[in-house]
């Protein structure tokens, strides 16, 4: 994936997810690292948009923290962190979604859409909290967010 196709906020979230993985001695950056970084991002849109869709942010944060705690820790290779296969697949899905919408950039909102559609751990967490792209509980909030809400 070309980093120049990512919005600046999404690039920062990837860097924050990497820092989170390094700080927890994880070998791979997983989708749960990304979602945690997106929720913690100052000036980001995901926390606000999730709240507007009636997703319980406290429950989401709690489940993400539990998922992070369950990830294996590694010793002996401090700072050596790679993108996991699951995260790589989600990022590629984001790229495909952007292409389908003729979007020039890949945004954080597209990551959430890809995660909702994913069958992995993050997708299960989001589905358990009733995040559903077919849900009528939200309205259009941003160009790419319409796909999640509509």
What structural domains and CATH numbers belong to the chain? 3-149 (1.10.1780.10)
Quick one: pLDDT at residue 133?
64
Quick check: pTM over 0.75?
yes
For the beta carbon of residue 69, count every other beta carbon within 10 angstroms. Answer: 9
Confidence of residue 21 (pLDDT cuts 50, 70, 90): very high
pLDDT, one tens digit per residue, over 100-148 is: 999 999 999 999 999 998 899 999 999 999 876 655 344 334 444 444 4
Using the predicted structure, report yes or no on whether residue 14 has a pLDDT greater than 50.
yes
Q: What does the pLDDT average to over 75-96?
A: 88
Quick one: pLDDT at residue 150?
45
* Mean model confidence pLDDT for the chain: 86
């Amino acid at each position: 994936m070309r980093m120049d196709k990512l919005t600046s906020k999404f690039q920062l979230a990837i860097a924050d997810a990497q820092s989170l993985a390094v700080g927890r001695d994880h070998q791979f950056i997983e989708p749960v690292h990304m979602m945690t970084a997106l929720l913690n991002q100052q000036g980001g849109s995901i926390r606000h948009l999730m709240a507007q869709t009636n997703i319980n942010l406290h429950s989401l944060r709690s489940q993400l923290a539990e998922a992070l705690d369950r990830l294996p820790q590694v010793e002996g290779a401090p700072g050596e962190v790679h993108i996991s296969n699951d995260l790589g697949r989600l990022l590629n899905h984001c790229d495909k979604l952007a292409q389908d919408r003729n979007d020039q950039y890949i945004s954080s909102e597209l990551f959430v859409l890809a995660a909702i559609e994913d069958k992995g751990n993050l997708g299960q967490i989001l589905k358990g909290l009733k995040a559903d792209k077919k849900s009528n509980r939200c309205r259009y909030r941003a160009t790419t967010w319409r796909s999640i809400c509509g």
